[in-house]
Amino acid sequence: MLCGRTNVNKFLIEEQRRNPALVGDFSMLISDVVRSCKAIAQGVSRGSLAGVLGDEGRDNVQGEAQKKLDVLANQAFIHHCEWGGHLAAMASEEMDDIYPIPADNPRGKYLLVFDPLDGSSNIDVNLSVGSIFSVLRCPENCSGAAPGTDDFLQPGNRQVAAGYALYGPSTMLVLTVGNGTHGLTLDRDIGEFLLTHPNLLISPDTREFAINASNERFWEPPVQRYVSECLAGKTGIRGKDFNMRWVASMVAEVHRILMRGGVFMYPRDSKDLSKPGRLRLMYEANPMAMIVGQAGGLASTGNERILDVQPTSLHQRVPVILGSRDEVERIERYHREHESGEDQPFRSPLFSTRTLFRVD
Ligand code: AHG
Ligand code: MN
Ligand code: MN
């Protein structure tokens, strides 16, 4: 009773023993990240009582209005992770440029990339939000001069660890260090995350999808085809009825998929042709792709696996289709069939009238 579940520190040390490539102070680095998430969980749960809701009054580098909690959560990550000597630099959604570890602190071997508060449009209406993080190794040349942006531009398949905290009815931490995906729940009485969901597995097929349907007219044809087939239900070619969900918080959507399967899409769309998607590669798509992949699911742009995308800039956006393996593979096939013209019989006359999706 008094010494029940595995706590996060024991879990991390056991993972590190299993994988000698996780050098030195790796588990302590993740402990600092966990501490940041606990501080954010505290702020999120107190909400109005802590005076943390509402707008910050300025835009971030993406041109999106920052919430007070976006900024506070960003500060929490910096405060808890900059002094331990495990990191060489950090980067986040809420910082225009990378944040090298200040010269008066020792510099470590890892890079941390994070979305301090994901789904922040939900914060003022008291719905689920989260934090997402990704750990990369600092390339060799990092150890000399201060790291630069280029050191961060590594494909997701080079991530050492990835995780998210979900600030929902209970606060959970979902983590992978390349050996499965595992869920821990915050026990507020003792202030520790305890292992409650070891070895999460995403069922390969599903009857549930998540997409912001208000963008339908902007979606690319393979996604329009997939969703219309789901909506056709039992009488359509899928021969089964589907359910739809949209929380507008990627952390919450991915968590639901880890718990009961499903597919999540924020595909390429023609809303703003300068943006190849809504979500950011380095601190949203890549960590979620590793988490989902380690749980037996898949993550794709539709044309290539997310983890293979070579980043070209820190805040780059990317189309995201992730979740149950069979569904993601189906949507990838629809992309191939669209490119080769094999999907002609499925095309709505609507698509050929738009410039982006013109097929003639
Ligand atoms: P963030 O709050 O970090 O900017 O991310 C929000 C993202 C993601 O969590 C969610 O899936 C999506 O934006 C919601 O988009 P819509 O506003 O189009 O629903
Ligand atoms: Mn986000
Ligand atoms: Mn965010």
Cα-trace Rg, the chain: 21
Pocket test for ligand 1, best of 249, 255, 283 (most atoms within 8 A of CB): 249
Q: How confident is the model over 7-19, as a mean pLDDT? A: 91
* pLDDT tens digits, 155-206: 999 999 999 999 999 999 999 999 999 999 999 999 999 999 999 999 998 9
Distance CA 41, CA 241 (A): 37
Q: How confident is the model over 255-284, as a mean pLDDT? A: 96
Global pTM value: 0.94
Residue 359 is predicted with a pLDDT of: 40
Atom of ligand 1 nearest to the CA of 253: 11
Average pLDDT, the chain: 93
Q: How confident is the model over 54-83, as a mean pLDDT? A: 92
Q: Report whether 134 contacts 280 (CB < 8 A).
A: no
| Ligand 1 near 118 CB (within 6 A) | yes
| Ligand 1 near 120 CB (within 6 A) | yes
Ligand 1 mean position, distance from CA 338 (Å): 27
| Ligand 1 near 127 CB (within 6 A) | no
Report the run of H or E that residue 11 belongs to, with start and end.
helix 8-18
Q: How confident is the model over 353-359, as a mean pLDDT? A: 42
- Residue of the nearest CA to atom 6 in ligand 1? 119
- Residue of the nearest CA to atom 3 in ligand 1? 118
* pLDDT tens digits, 101-145: 999 999 999 999 999 999 999 999 999 999 999 999 999 756 567
Residue 179 is predicted with a pLDDT of: 95
What whole-number percentage of the chain has pLDDT above 70? Answer: 94
Q: Report whether 325 contacts 294 (CB < 8 A).
A: no
Q: Which residue has the tokens 């979620």?
A: 288
| Ligand 1 near 327 CB (within 6 A) | no
